[in-house]
């Protein structure tokens, strides 16, 4: 019987290199700030969905007034809302509003076992996209009685340093099996991660901004409701999204962005005529609102009203040549296209 050939060092490196190349675009550096915009610290995180959801540690964002996520491409996005924040599990789920689908990592369905190979990506000491490799040293059951470890009960040999917190711990298939969170300064190669089961049971809360979490008694303004509505619409919860856009408009009937967000939800809810009316209201209130003109043009094109869609194209040629080209391509195409990624003002 023929035995499989042993894996050579070069083959192993190539496999690891391919995994890293595929995973790196989904990993971000998270920088947190105080109320005055001064940097408080940084950590790591990673996208878990194409709509901009990021998983990180609770302690990375704890006490922050705002935060930004910097991608492997060097693009920085403001973190708009927290979707979940669990101190006990030391996990937080954030969301950015981007104008495109984001690369993301898959969460594993299988728990790792002692001896399994793992890879960690993160930003130790601010060194973006640093890679370390190791094995699983111990699984949660073996560390259940270590109260000082709290939630971080997946022990690994892959090195973790300050700034690595929140980075993904991945198996050999590039699937997330833990979130890097702690290391012991006194020990040698003693590193810990939040295990898979805590990731899978992290519940989503009502979207909230940092300011809303830090000051729950602070009066809610129209912009707060608008941001919550955008987050809900990106989470495919259009009914709740519409309710929050309505709250924003109840506070400020001339809030153009809220009319735009309402239009996006109405389209997803299968109400194109109402959506057109909402987009039109947005551009009447804010004539230079490029994204609203663009979505209005798309909606007109879907209705077969190409003359009106072309009118919006003419407006966009001045406001945003890139969106104008996209709308023109949409108008002349025979095949229907999905609307642009929702939730971003271009």
59 is catalytic: yes
What pLDDT shows up at residue 182?
78
Average confidence (pLDDT) over 103-116: 93
- The model carries a pTM of 0.83
Q: Which of 58, 85, 90, 164 is catalytic?
A: 90
Give the span between the Cα atoms of 117 and 114, in whole angstroms.
9
Topology of the domain covering 117-197:
Thrombin, subunit H (2.40.10)
Predicted pLDDT of residue 8:
46
Quick: pLDDT tens for 226-249. Answer: 999 999 999 989 999 999 999 999
Class for the domain spanning 219-332: mainly alpha
Q: Where are the domains of the chain?
A: 9-96, 117-197, 219-332
CATH topology agreement for domains 9-96 and 117-197: yes
Query: Of 23, 165, 291, 340, which residue is the catalytic one?
Result: 165
Mean pLDDT of 267-290: 95
Question: Average pLDDT of 108-118?
Answer: 92
Fold entry, domain 9-96:
Thrombin, subunit H (2.40.10)
What are the tens digits of pLDDT across the range 138-163? 887 655 555 554 566 788 998 887 77
Annotated catalytic residue, options 49, 59, 116, 274: 59
Q: Please name the residues in contact with 233: beta carbons below 8 A apart, sequence gap of 6 or more.
A: 241, 261, 264, 265, 268, 342, 343
């Amino acid at each position: 019987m023929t035995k499989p050939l042993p894996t050579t060092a070069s083959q192993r490196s190539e496999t690891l290199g391919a995994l890293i190349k595929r995973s790196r675009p989904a990993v971000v550096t998270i920088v947190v700030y105080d109320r005055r915009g001064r940097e408080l610290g940084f950590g790591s995180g990673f996208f878990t969905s194409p709509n901009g959801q990021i998983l990180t540690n609770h302690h990375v964002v704890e006490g922050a007034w705002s935060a930004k996520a910097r991608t492997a491409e060097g693009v920085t996005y403001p973190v708009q809302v927290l979707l979940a924040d669990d101190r006990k599990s030391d996990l937080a789920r954030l969301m950015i509003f981007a104008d495109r689908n984001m690369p993301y990592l898959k969460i594993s369905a299988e728990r790792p076992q002692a001896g399994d190979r793992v890879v960690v990506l993160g930003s130790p000491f601010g060194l973006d996209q640093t890679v370390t490799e190791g094995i699983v040293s111990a699984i949660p059951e073996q560390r259940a009685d270590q109260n000082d470890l709290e939630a971080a009960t997946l022990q690994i040999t892959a090195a973790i340093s300050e700034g690595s917190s929140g980075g993904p711990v991945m198996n050999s298939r590039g699937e997330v099996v833990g979130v890097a969170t702690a290391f012991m300064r006194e020990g040698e190669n003693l590193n810990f991660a939040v295990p898979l089961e805590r990731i899978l049971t992290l519940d989503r809360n009502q979207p909230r901004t940092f300011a809303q979490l830090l000051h729950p008694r602070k009066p809610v303004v129209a912009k707060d409701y608008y941001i919550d509505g955008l987050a809900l619409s990106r989470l495919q919860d259009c009914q709740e999204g519409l309710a929050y856009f309505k709250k924003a408009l109840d506070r400020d009937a001339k809030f153009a962005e809220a009319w735009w967000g309402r239009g996006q939800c109405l389209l997803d809810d299968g109400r194109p005529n109402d959506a057109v009316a909402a987009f039109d209201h947005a551009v009447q209130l804010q004539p230079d609102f490029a994204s609203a003109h663009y979505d209005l043009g798309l909606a007109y094109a879907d209705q077969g009203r190409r003359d009106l869609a072309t009118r919006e194209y003419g407006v966009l040629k001045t406001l945003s040549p890139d969106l104008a080209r996209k709308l023109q391509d949409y108008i002349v195409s025979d095949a229907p296209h999905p609307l642009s990624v929702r939730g971003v003002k271009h």
